[in-house]
Amino acid sequence: MLKKALENVLSEKESEDLFSAFDQIGDIIIVRIPDSLLSKKKIIGETLLEQVKTAKSVFYQSSSVEGDFRTRDLEILAGVDKTETEYKEFGCRFIVDVEKAFFSPRLSTERDRIAELVQDGEIVINMFGGVGMFSIIAAKRKKCTVYNIDINPIAAKLCEKNIELNKLAGRVISIHGDAAQIIEEQLSDQGDRVLMLLPERSDEFLNSAILATKSNGIIHYYSHIHADEKSQAAKLSEKHYLDITPIKSKILNSKIVRAVGPRYYQTVVDVRITK
């Protein structure tokens, strides 16, 4: 339907490129537009807004996800200029701000996988927890306690709101600050399970993740891996982890989470460590 609506504006190939780079989050649409189509961005935005009845805003993503907070620049193309919205996933409700705090709807399969792995009674430390997506979905499904740490004050505040919205006070704890420092001061040897969702900097924070984890606890180590063959990416990330880890580790599983560029993948390695 959208392709049809844009058929006078875009060629078949152009519209294919466009729709592989388009996300709807609540009532907000975010579209990445190739340079060759930038002159048509207004009409693309207006058409999307007109056609997608559940959308109130269309933004163009004008930068990649960057900086310590892993945020992106957005430019309004059509509709209401507000970046906060409500998003629902696996029976949980979230207030997200698509510009001021990291959020990706494309990690939902991984959130489901982690929530299934968590066991009742566990203490989970989510080192780079953002607005609480992984933490809240896991705590809604299992009787665990989750520490959701984030250095971005807006992400930590939204996480507090989301804890309230999902009635998880005391089960998910939002902590604002640097994960390495918080772990050293309050959370060493506490975690049955530690999540490291800052793939670009996992190696730098691995010692903090190890400090946070109990002996026999599990670390979910995320990274970005270059692989010529997609089928090799998970094995390469296992090898990378084993090359750099200073601790006795048993690999439990590894997989591609998503493609992040040509021959470039976000992967996760699940490891049990022995201290």
Ligand X SMILES: C[S@@+](CC[C@H](N)C(=O)[O-])C[C@H]1O[C@@H](n2cnc3c(N)ncnc32)[C@H](O)[C@@H]1O
Nearest CB to ligand X, comparing residues 78 and 196: 196
- Provide, rounded to whole angstroms, the least separation between the CB of residue 117 and ligand X: 15
Q: State the residues that interact with ligand X by CB under 6 A.
A: 68-70, 102-103, 107, 128-130, 133-134, 149-152, 155, 178-179, 197-198
With CB atoms as reference, the residue minimizing the distance to ligand X is 130
Which residues, 6 or more positions from 95, have their beta carbon under 8 angstroms from its beta carbon?
Answer: 84, 85, 86, 87, 131, 158, 161, 162, 165
Shortest reach from residue 8's CB to ligand X, in Å:
38
Least distance from ligand X to the Cβ atom of residue 68, Å = 5
Minimum CB–partner distance for residue 180 and ligand X (Å): 6
Q: Which is nearer to ligand X, 115 or 155 (CB)?
A: 155
Angle (nearest 5°) at CA 99 between 93 and 104: 50
**How near is the Cβ of 237 to ligand X at its closest, in Å?**
16
Would you say 33 or 197 has its CB closer to ligand X? 197
CA distance to 181, 189, 263, per residue, from 184 (Å): 5, 10, 36
User: Which bin fits 172, alpha (ψ -120 to 50), beta or left (φ > 0)?
Assistant: beta
H helix or E strand, kind and range, residue 78: strand 74-79
Count of C-beta atoms within a 10 Å radius of residue 56:
15
Residue 144 CB, nearest approach to ligand X (Å): 16
Query: What number of residues does the chain have?
Result: 275
Specify the residue, 14 or 89, whose C-beta has the smaller distance to ligand X: 89
Rounded alpha-carbon distances, angstroms, from residue 84 to 38, 94, 100, 103, 108: 25, 10, 9, 11, 19
Side-chain half-sphere exposure of 101, counting CA atoms within 13 A: 23
Closer CB to ligand X, 17 or 178, in the complex: 178
Closest to ligand X by CB, 134 or 265: 134
